[in-house]
A and B are shown apart, each in its own frame.
Chain A
Amino acid sequence: MATVQVSEAEKVYILHGIRDDLRVDGRGCEDYRHMEVETDVVSNTDGSAKVTLGHTAVLVGIKAEIGKPRPLIPNEGYLEFFVDCSANATPEFEGRGGEELGTELSNILYKVFNNEHSLDLRSLCISPGEHCWVLYVDVLLLQCDGNLYDAISIAIKAALFNTKIPRVHISSDDEGGKEIELSDDPYDCMRVNVSCIVTLCKIGHRHVVDATLQEKACSVASLIISVTHKGVITCTRKVGRGSLDPESICEMTEAGRRVGKALHSPLIKLLQQEESLGKKRQKVGFLG
């Protein structure tokens, strides 16, 4: 991860501030930074979204293809992830420098999103054992300022909202083989609804949501929680070199559930508002 150096006195200042619920930029411990979401920015994907969370910028593109389901789970589709940390974000990612972070991010995304509770994978099945939808999710990190998981998960949710997967009919043709027909109606499609990831960083005795790079440098351990819109926790993972007390894990999980549940409705409302603007929407893209 792009790291920033912090002096001992700055760490003490940040620690005491979080203890008093006043972070360096005036936010409370559970406030997010200013977020901007835009979908349909990449024209040759089936769905795409660009999310800016403070100074962190993430671009997600999704391509839907028909493939063979996994042998052990024949009646579910799946998602394939690839995370690219571009050198745009920080010179540390030049060449192969961003590979480590990229593989770490894609491994966690696999764990979170290939879980039947995070999203309905059975809806991606076409015919069990033979055909299913495979969604190839490509994530590009444009700018790194802390809290990558949250930004990536919001971008994936927005991109999946933007991806309209057509409904297919299986019919057997004359020789006994199966034929796949896409429906003619352009509006006959389905959308995949996924959970959101919330990262909680333990700093001192309290935890913060949406930590900046300076705050990350003061924390020893973080908890990554994936929460659905109903408040169900589907995946938990601890990252960082430090240890977490079981009581603080309970506290952080409760806070993560609360924060995660509250992320879904404003996002869906915003995406629906964007969709309702239709052709009149002024696309901002990258040069706004």
Chain B
Amino acid sequence: MAVDMRLPTVIKAMSLSVSAADRKDMVVPGDVITSDTGFMRGHGTYVDEDKLTASVAGEVQRVDKLICVRPLKTRFNGEVGDVVVGRITEVQQKRWKVETNSRLDSVLLLSSVNLPGGELRRRSAEDELTMREYLQEGDLISAEVQSVFSDGALSLHTRSLKYGKLGQGVLVQLSPSLIKRQKTHFHNLPCGASIILGNNGFVWLYPTPGQQEEEAGGFYTSLEPVSLSDREVISRLRNCLLALAAHKVLLYDTSVLYCYESSLQHQVKDILKPEVMEEIVMLTQQKLLEQEG
């Protein structure tokens, strides 16, 4: 039995030397972006005495004559093609409402899911009545954004065997701006677990499925107990993700893997202590810099 009690300490901002060229154009609310009146103002800006000022904290983006500020701490703004991990909140007629950390609940239409056995047919009234047998309130799914409605709500689809209902594993909720956009968001990490880095900040960790398990498209979830070694790997990855997120490091498969390797010398439950987090993240950032340079 362990109790770790201590006095709080002021968290010092960790900074690795970043050259001026690499530093992106970061602004805080109230910063003047430009005094030139020839620009059009986009989201996150306002005009204050003929000067274009930022109203949110984030990165300045310039597209020809349009200036906008993309905030760092924001809800998920989905685009077509994004991979998301979401939780079903409601079962409605012919659709499910999915919570994806965006401003509005996303929508998963009955016509956008695969039927068992891969049938291709028109959805009948009976399909509507058995919706709850497939996805209930509280279930987790991985899906892709098919389109964006005019009010900003996302329409999802799971029309591929790699998407669908998620089985046993651990969900970690982080900020969407920390997830790096990549070609694929599904990774089988060499340490023995698999990870889905949803663009909406929800990261799903699960034990790598065995060879013999066919991709059933999420209709069958295995409730067999997961082995202790797999569990340890998943717990360690979860703590590493939280450590990286606390220090605002961009998350992608390489950074997660380097963090995992740097944390092997510590016990899994010690990773969440502030000094251990700092040490692990510093090692990870050093490794990442070495790999780039």
Where the two chains meet, the residues of A that have a C-beta atom closer than 8 Å to any C-beta of B are 5-10, 12-13, 16-17, 19-20, 22-28, 30-38, 52, 209, 258-259, 262-263, 266-267, 270, 273-274, 282, 284, 288
Contact = CB atoms under 8 A, between A and B. Distances in A.
Interface residues of B, number: 42
B2 A32 contact: yes
B19 interface: no
Given A31-B269, A33-B272, A274 B7 contact: yes
Max count, chain A CB within 10 A of own CB: residue among B1, B169, B272? B1
B171 to A, nearest CB: 7
B37 interface: no
Contact of A270 (B1, B5, B267): B5
Contacts of B8: 36-38, 52, 284, 288
Contact of A26 (B6, B89, B269): B269
B5 A37 contact: yes
B166 interface: yes
A262 B3 contact: yes
A273 B7 contact: yes
Contacts of A23: 235
B213 to A, nearest CB: 14
B4 A34 contact: yes
B3 A266 contact: yes
B137 A9 contact: no
B21 interface: no
Contacts of A35: 3-6
Nearest to A30: B1
B259 interface: no
B100 to A, nearest CB: 14
A148 B233 CA distance: 29
B192 to A, nearest CB: 15
B7 A12 contact: no
A127 B5 CA distance: 39
Interface stretch (B54-62, B118-126, B177-185, B220-228): B220-228
Contacts of B232: 22, 26
A262 B2 CA distance: 9
Contacts of B4: 32-35
A25 B10 contact: no
Max count, chain A CB within 10 A of own CB: residue among B2, B166, B269? B269
23 contacts: A6-B138, A7-B140, A9-B140, A9-B221, A10-B140, A10-B170, A12-B168, A12-B223, A13-B169, A22-B235, A25-B239, A26-B232, A26-B235, A28-B2, A31-B269, A35-B3, A36-B8, A37-B5, A38-B7, A266-B5, A270-B7, A274-B7, A284-B8
A30 B1 CA distance: 5
A288 B223 contact: no
B9 interface: yes
A288 B13 CA distance: 11
